[in-house]
Structure 1
Amino acid sequence: MFTLKCKIIIGDYKLFAVTDVKIKRSIYSFVDTATITLPASARLQSDATNVPKSVSTAATFKEGDKVEIWLGYDNDLQREFKGFIKRVNAATPCEIECEGYSWQLRRKNILWATEKDKVTKLKDLLGTLIQGTDIKLSDSIPDMDVQQFSDGNRSGTEALDWIKKNLFLTVYFEEDQLYAGLAFIKQPDSAYAKYGIGVNLVKEDQLKFRNAEDVKILVKAISFNKLNKAVVGKAGDENGAIRTIYAQNDKTQKELDELAQSKIGELRYNGYEGKVTGFLAPFALPGYRVILQDKNYIERDGTYLIESTDVSYGTGGGRRTCGIGVKISKS
C-alpha cells in the first residue's frame, strides 16, 4: 500500500499537509510555476527558534520566500519544484503562487548589448545576465557565437525572450540551472520514465498514434551571418508543426533549404503524440525521455522526448501529465 506524502518548505517552515498543489514546467517556457493551496490558518513545523507553530498562513509568507515542493509515496519523495513565492492571495483558503528561478531575472535590469564588432559566446552572455543571482548555467549550453547587437535596458526575462526570438533557441530552467540551446539534449541514463499503455497510466485518451504520411511538419534550418542576422531555410508544410535545426554560421539560403529538406524524412515517423497521465511515480521532468510500450502493438513501442509536465497533488491523489514530443528512438 503506497501512502501519498508531501514536504513543502517555505522559508523557515515545513508543511506536511496541504489542500492542493499544482506545478507546471515545460522546455518551451523558462517560467516554472506552482500553486500551493493552504487553510487560512495552519500548524507548521520549523527548526528556527522563536517561530510560532500555529500561524495565519497569509500573514506568515511573503513574496521572495524560497520554496521547495517534494512529493511522492511513503518515504520516497522527489523534489518537483524549487523557486520563490511570487504572490500570496489572502483568501480562504490561502493560495500561494510561486515562480521558479526566472523570478530573480524578472527583477533584474541589464544593458542588453555587446561591444561593437566583437563576437561574444552565448555562455558568456548568459553569465553576464545571471550575475548577482543564485542561478547557475547548464553545462550543456552549446559553444555558440553571438555577434554584435545593442538592444538597450531590459529585464532578465525580457533578455531571455530576446534569445528565444532572435537566436531561435530553446530556453528553460532545470530548477536553478539555466539552459539555452537545442530542445533535446542528452540526459543521464537514469533520466527516463517508462509507461505501459493500459498498465500504469491513469489516462491515455489524449495520446494518439500517427502515421508518417499524415504528419504535417515544417522544418526551419537556421544559420547566422557575420552581422548576427538569422538566415532561415524552410521545407515541408507551412501550417505544420515547426521543428528547428541549426547549421554552421554563414550558410547560404540554398544550402539551408536543402538541409531542411533532408531532415523531413527523419522527422516524419510512425509514432505517438499528445499527452499521458500517470501517478507521481515514475518521476519525470521536461527534457527526460519517456518509453511508451503497448503489449497489444509491440511495433508501436518507442522513446520520446518529454516536452512538459503538469503535476497535481491533493485529496484526489497525485498525478503527472507528460506532454509527448519528438520520437528519439524505436525502443
Structure 2
Amino acid sequence: MSILLTCRVTIGDIVYTKISGFDSESSWKNLGDTATLKLYGFCTVLASDDDTEGTVQALEDLVQVGDPVTVELGYDGELHTEFQGYVAEIKLTIPFELRLEDGYFNLKRTRVNRSWKNTTLRKLLADLVPTAILSPSIPDMRIDTFRADRTTTAGVLKKLKDDYPGLCAYFRDGRLFVGLTYTEFTSTSGVEAALALYSFQQNIVDDNLTYQRKEDVHIKAKVVAMHQNGKRTTTEAGDVDGEERTITLRTETKDKTVLKLLAEAELAKFKYDGYRGDFTGFGVPRIIHSGVADLLDTKHPQRSGRYLVDAVGISFGPEGYRRKVTLGKRSSH
C-alpha cells in the first residue's frame, strides 16, 4: 500500500498542486511564523475561454510581494492547512523561491506613534488591530502606562514582550494572541492539533532527545512580579549556576522573600524527570506549538509522558512530509 503526498498551494488567484519544497517554523518564542516555498519556475495560465489554450508564464510575472498565501498539505488527498500568510520576498533562483510570513507581515507595515494610560492589554491591542483578528483568549491584563514612539504595530508587540517578561505574541489561524506562555488554551480538548500521540516505536522517525532527572536540572530565574497597577517588582531565584529563565508572577506582594518562594514553586515545574530536545515525526499526527505532545515508550514505560510544545517545524517535498517537534516543560494536563 503506497501513500501519496498531496498538496494545494494558493497564491492570490493561482493554485498549485505540485511544488518543489516547503519548510516552515512556528513557535511561541517568535512574533511570527515564517516559511520557504519552492516552486517550479513556470506555470500554465488557462484562458477564460475554455476553447483557448492556456499560456505558459514565468512565476515572477505572476507573483508579487504581499500576495496572500495558503499552504495545504497531506496524504492521499486529505489536506490540512499548514500555513496562512503573505509573500514577503521573492528569490529568482532555481527552483523559484518565496519567503513567506504570517499575519505579522502586515503588522510591520502599520505605523504607530502614541501612548496609553490606565488601560488593559486587550484595549491597547484593539487600538492597533481590528478586533476581529484578536484572539478571545487575550487576558485583560492591567497596563498602567505604555508609550510607542515612531514604531510599527510589530514594534509595539516586541516592546510589550520586552517590558513584560513572560508575554508571548503570535498568530494562530489568522488571529493574534498576546498573553502568558502556554495560556492560549484552557484545555486541549476540541482544539484541532492541540494534542497528539507519538510513540517511539511507531511514528517517531528520529529524535534529538535527552532524558534528565530533576536533580540534575539547574535553573536560575529572573523573577518579575506584575502588580495590578502596572508596576513590577523583580528579584532572582533558583540555582546560581543554572540555565537562565524568566518567571512572571501575577501577584500584589512586593516582599522579595515571598516572591522567591513563589518562584521556586514555579521553577519546580521545570525540574522533572523527562525529555529535553526535539524529535521528528511524519506529517500526521498534526501538532501545534503551545499544544501537548503525548509521548509513549513501550520499551521504557516510565519515560512516557506529556509535554508542552515550544516549536514545530514542517518540511514537505520529494524526501517526504515531516514534522519536527521541540519540547517544552512537562505538562500537567
Structure 1 residue matching 2:188: 3-state secondary structure: coil
Q: Which residue of 2 aligns with 1:224?
A: 226
Supply the AA of the counterpart residue of 1:99.
Answer: E
Q: Work out whether residues 187 and 288 of structure 1, in 8 Å CA contact, stay in contact via their aligned partners in 2.
A: no
The correspondence for 2:141, drawn from 139, 144, 152, is 144
Q: Deviation at 1:53?
A: 5.7
Supply the AA of the counterpart residue of 1:231.
Answer: T
The correspondence for 2:72, drawn from 70, 73, 77, is 70
**CA offset digits 1:77-99 (Å, max 9, x no partner):** 11110000001112222101110
Distance 1:225 1:246, change over 3 A: closer
What is the percent sequence identity of the aligned residues?
A: 27
**CA offset digits 1:206-250 (Å, max 9, x no partner):** 011110011122344322357734322321124414152322246
- Paired with 1:214 and 1:181, the residues of 2 have a C-alpha distance of 31
Distance 1:320 1:110, change over 3 A: same
Distance 1:150 1:279, change over 3 A: same
1:202 equivalenced with 2:201 (yes/no): no
Distance 1:197 1:112, change over 3 A: farther
1:121 equivalenced with 2:120 (yes/no): yes
Structure 2 residue matching 1:245: 3-state secondary structure: strand
Structure 1 residue matching 2:37: 3-state secondary structure: strand
After TM superposition, list the pairs within 5 Å mapping 1:1-331 onto structure 2.
Answer: 1-43=2-44, 54-114=56-116, 118-131=117-130, 136-168=133-165, 169-185=167-183, 186-190=186-190, 191-204=194-207, 206-225=208-227, 228-238=230-240, 239-249=242-252, 251-329=254-332
Structure 2 residue matching 1:14: 3-state secondary structure: strand
Supply the AA of the counterpart residue of 2:148.
Answer: D
- Paired with 2:14 and 2:53, the residues of 1 have a C-alpha distance of 9
Q: Deviation at 1:142?
A: 1.5
**CA offset digits 1:43-90 (Å, max 9, x no partner):** 367999999563211221001100000011112211110000001112
Q: Deviation at 1:160?
A: 0.7
Structure 2 residue matching 1:276: 3-state secondary structure: strand
Stretches of structure 2 lacking an aligned partner (at least 5 in a row): none
Q: Work out whether residues 222 and 235 of structure 2, in 8 Å CA contact, stay in contact via their aligned partners in 1.
A: yes
Q: Work out whether residues 313 and 319 of structure 1, in 8 Å CA contact, stay in contact via their aligned partners in 2.
A: yes
Q: Deviation at 1:298?
A: 0.8
RMSD of equivalent CA atoms: 2.4
Question: Which has the larger displacement, 135-144 or 70-79?
Answer: 135-144
Structure 1 residue matching 2:160: 3-state secondary structure: helix
Q: Work out whether residues 170 and 182 of structure 1, in 8 Å CA contact, stay in contact via their aligned partners in 2.
A: yes
Distance 1:259 1:52, change over 3 A: farther
Distance 1:199 1:142, change over 3 A: same
Distance 1:47 1:68, change over 3 A: farther
- Paired with 1:48 and 1:243, the residues of 2 have a C-alpha distance of 61
Q: Work out whether residues 227 and 251 of structure 2, in 8 Å CA contact, stay in contact via their aligned partners in 1.
A: no
Supply the AA of the counterpart residue of 2:22.
Answer: V
